């Protein structure tokens, strides 16, 4: 579910955008001034919210982007197998299988509490609480 739609020149660093079906976070934005015959241009540097892959797009200032709905939730780790963790949601008590990010592999262990994000149906462990 899309939260809202914004123009490219309204994006700020830290804003999350859906581009080509993937969710990216804006890291930097450069907006050129309007010219005599043209509209302003935006050069946006993005980072994929899960993989960290960098991307740069150059679009007109009136280009519209979807802003995704991100639900930040808490869970308890039930078990860890290789790079997968079984996490129980603290509110609904449902069990979810999620991939453990490389930077958190040493910290995640059974019975630890984590914050995970539900981004348009994709569930990602973000940090240990």
Residue, of 71 and 38, whose pLDDT is higher: 71
CATH number of 70-128: 2.40.50.140
Predicted TM-score (pTM) of this structure: 0.79
* Predicted pLDDT of residue 1: 61
- Tens of pLDDT, residue by residue over 74-120, are 999 999 988 899 999 999 999 999 988 888 888 888 999 999 999 88
- Count CB atoms within 10 A of the CB of residue 85: 25
- Tens of pLDDT, residue by residue over 10-53, are 999 999 999 988 999 999 999 998 777 778 899 999 999 888 89
Q: 70 CB contacts (<8 Å, ≥6 apart)?
A: 16, 117, 118, 119
Residue 89 to residue 33: CA distance in whole angstroms: 47
- Tens of pLDDT, residue by residue over 79-90, are 998 889 999 999
Residue 7 to residue 102: CA distance in whole angstroms: 34
Annotation: CATH topology of 2-68: SH3 type barrels. (2.30.30)
Mean pLDDT within 58-71: 91
Domain ranges of the chain: 2-68, 70-128
């Amino acid at each position: 579910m899309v939260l809202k739609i914004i123009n490219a020149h309204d994006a700020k660093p830290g804003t999350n955008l859906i581009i080509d079906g993937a969710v990216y976070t804006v890291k930097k934005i450069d907006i050129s001034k309007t010219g005599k015959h043209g509209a302003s241009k935006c050069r946006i540097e993005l980072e994929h919210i899960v993989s960290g892959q960098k991307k740069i797009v150059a679009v007109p200032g009136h280009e519209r982007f979807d802003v995704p709905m991100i639900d930040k939730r808490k869970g308890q780790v039930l078990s860890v197998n290789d790079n997968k963790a079984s996490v129980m949601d603290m509110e609904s008590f449902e069990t979810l299988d999620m991939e453990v990010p490389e930077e958190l592999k040493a910290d995640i262990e059974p019975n630890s509490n984590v914050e995970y994000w539900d981004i348009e149906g994709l569930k990602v462990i973000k940090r240990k609480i």
